[in-house]
Amino acid sequence: MSRIALFLAITVTIISPCLSQADPLSSRQIPQSVVQIFVQSNPAELDAPWIGVGVESTSGSGVIIEGNRILTAAHVVDDALSIEIKRPGLPRRYVARVEQFGHECDLAILSVEREEFFEGTVPMPLGGTPKVEDEVRVYGFPVGGDALSVTSGIVSRAEVSFYAHSMRKLLLLQIDAALNPGNSGGPVVSEGTLAGISMQLLDGAENVGYIIPAAVIAHFLEDLKEHGCVLGFPSLGVTVQPITNDALRQEYALAPEQDGALVVGVNYGDSASGHLEPGDVIIAVDGIRVAEDLTVPVDGFGRLNFSYLIQTKQVGEETSLEVLRGGQKRHEVISLKNVPSLVPGTHHVTNNSFYVFGGLVFQPLTLEYLFLYDDCETWIPGELSIYGLTRNFRTPERDQVIMLTSVLPAPINRGYQDYEDEVVASVNGRIPRDMRDLLSIVENAKGPRLRILMESGAVLVLDLERARADQGGILKSHRLPSECSVGLKEDQKQQ
């Protein structure tokens, strides 16, 4: 799998009372709307989220939009301790803060309290999503200098593919304009309007960059307008495979003129839960036929994965599916949800969840954790890769995959200290649904011992009374501020 590198860049477009938001900006106005973003951050260690990796200084770009808001990429300001922004050609930096995150689509809204920052600026209006072969210009502050940089190129490809920040598959445009670290968050402009936001580049390739298209930006802003928060992008919540083999087509009773997507898994509680089941074949979405390669025709983009049709809708809207089940056609009208998968994409500040008991460190599995192994080029434990790549859907018993990621040495856990990255099968005979449920099981456990069964078959048993008595000492000796992540106990009490 190709590695995708995130890069930082900031461009800002600003508002003026004398220009309608719908009016495109002139070539002279655009640079006045671009800003540089300076960030001090301290990301959490993935396998020890109670500590940070250390303070890092990065920079990016952003664009000023309607309402004195600054739009940038979420990864530019994620884990930020402080944010400052600066307009091109002006010496002063201004303090900014994050108003909203859209981690799925790698977007964020910043605000600046000092109104003087926006004086003389014009907001950049949101335009349409450029098509393949359309020309675009990229504005930002890439590394190598302090002045505003402008590069040109064309849209070379459109596809539904991974956003590196969230590992969510959404509409993504590839451009051949030069993108470099520092460009992230900056505007991509077409005919004086915002056509996209610079986001990521492909390691090892020349002039292969990716942008968040205007359609995705519009979806994000519509959430904020309608709900005041980000509900995100809906999905059917199914795992599918193409049906190309003749014997497979016969197995599921497809007529010669029929194609579709074979459902092999359903994310419990998600949009399709209760409507679709493994063995169903999705023939059409909202009347548009699904081809054997799982694509649908989209004007200006060629063919895209059929999930694109779902992502164009807002959470709560409906979609109509034509489904083949046992050779019989049926129609399903589904209200769309956005339910996290069993193994979500990444950790963020809000879900760097952990719980330590008796020195045993428990965390939920994320795709980001799997890529920690990929980056180190080390062997990935089989249970982890299976859940992350082929069994990534919730069940009635499980909303998260709980791991024993490591063991902090202490007398109570003697003999267990080499265990790491094991999937927890049960605790005292119960499958922990999620981290809150795990905390509840342990805290309410009775009897002399706590028995933890791993999916590998390993069994770890703790003296329950002694583990509780030693808990404070273990936390102190390993310099942990708490036995669990912020909010985990509060969340557990609310259930």
**Residues annotated as part of the active site:** 75, 106, 184
Interacting residues of 366 by C-beta distance below 8 A, sequence separation 6+: 343, 344, 345, 346, 347
Q: Which residues contact 103 (CB under 8 A, 6 or more apart)?
A: 74, 78, 165, 166, 346, 348
Distance CA 216, CA 22 (A): 18
**What Cα–Cα distance (Å) separates residue 414 from each residue in 184, 359, 421, 450, 458?**
47, 10, 18, 15, 15
- Partners of residue 74 on adjacent β-strands: none
Candidates 399, 383, 388, 476; CA nearest to 437 is 399
Give the separation between CA 46 and CA 423, rounded to whole angstroms: 16
Region label for 218, one of left (φ > 0), alpha (ψ between -120 and 50) or beta (otherwise): alpha
318 three-class SS: strand
Write the Ramachandran bin of 294: left for phi over 0, alpha for psi from -120 to 50, otherwise beta. left
Contact 337, 238 (CB under 8 A): no
Burial label for 333, CB within 10 Å (0-12, 13-18, 19+), is exposed
Residues with Cβ within 8 Å of 437's Cβ and at least 6 positions away in sequence, in order, are: none
Task: Find how far residue 387's CA is from the centre of its chain.
Answer: 17
Do the beta carbons of residue 429 and residue 442 sit within 8 Å?
A: no
Q: Which amino acid is at 418?
A: D
Distance CA 225, CA 126 (A): 14
Radius of gyration of the chain (CA): 25
Closest CA to 340 of 318, 378, 366, 363: 366
